[in-house]
Structure 1
């Protein structure tokens, strides 16, 4: 008889604790929203500053680093969202570095002298910029692909 009373108390308590724990943990939807908001923040920075001046490019690279840090700080518990988080951190890091290099190369062309050495600097910077743009396009395509996969995952029912 004592054992039965014990279980009648333990079962409701266990259920209450389980409901409390699950209600406090974030849902997949809210985690998706936080990740998507951070990723969109970085994407809009790139779109709004595409093809701008040297100082703007260097500032954009710094802003992307900050967005990257905010994505890293997201405390996501969903394993699949953690993979997306890692992918976007890597992509924004690559883009930030590429944009910083392009900005520095543009700066080098701005300061080049009107001489053979100056023309060589410009030619070298132009090659650097072209290779950086090619890498950035590839990274952009990867970002679009990950974005589509993230949207697809987040739109699936739990």
Structure 2
């Protein structure tokens, strides 16, 4: 099959028909990309939401009522963090991992609060001492969970800082 001059002219005509569409579509794509929030803006949004939860975690008190209140407040922060609109896939991953971390903290605070209530109601008798030993094991486990979650949170904060901080020139 050979390409004669008539075929070439038809091909050129077709190309010229669509030629203006190519730059126009490139311009539209560029405009749409510039309307999307930048990674820096998204990093700020994510960091702001994460900082609310960090303040709650850092101010945790070993008081049964305070533990339950902190857990409820962390649940609210998790919902707010979930509501942060992100388009950057890496930041979305960080967001979901932090939601998981706050959920783990919240559960550990609830567990600790419940155990502290349980311990405070124990009577100084053999049965109460037995329950106290069992509760102490559970408290130690909850503390271990809080420490492990804190380590995960610190590692994730470092990942976010590395991703969101532009490299030095």
Q: State the structure with more CA Rg.
A: 2
2:35 to 6, 24, 28: 24
Give, in whole Å, the separation in 2 of the partners of 1:2 and 1:47.
Answer: 66
- The question of 1:140 aligning with 2:150 is answered yes
Q: Give the drift of 1:18.
A: 2.2
RMSD: 2.0
TM-score for both structures, normalised by structure 2:
0.82
Q: Give the drift of 1:142.
A: 1.0
2:122 to 112, 137, 141: 112
TM-score for both structures, normalised by structure 1:
0.87
1:123 to 119, 128, 133: 133
The 3-state SS of whatever aligns with 1:149 is helix
Give, in whole Å, the separation in 2 of the partners of 1:121 and 1:61.
Answer: 25
Unpaired segments of 5 or more residues in structure 2?
1-12
Classify 1:7/1:60 alpha carbon distance in 2 versus 1 (closer, same or farther; 3 Å). same
Q: Give the drift of 1:113.
A: 2.1
- The question of 1:61 aligning with 2:71 is answered yes
Equivalent residue number for residue 41 of structure 1 = 52
Q: How many residues align?
A: 155
- CA offsets 1:29-58 (integer angstroms, 9 cap, x no match): 11111111111111110112x233100000
Unpaired segments of 5 or more residues in structure 1?
none
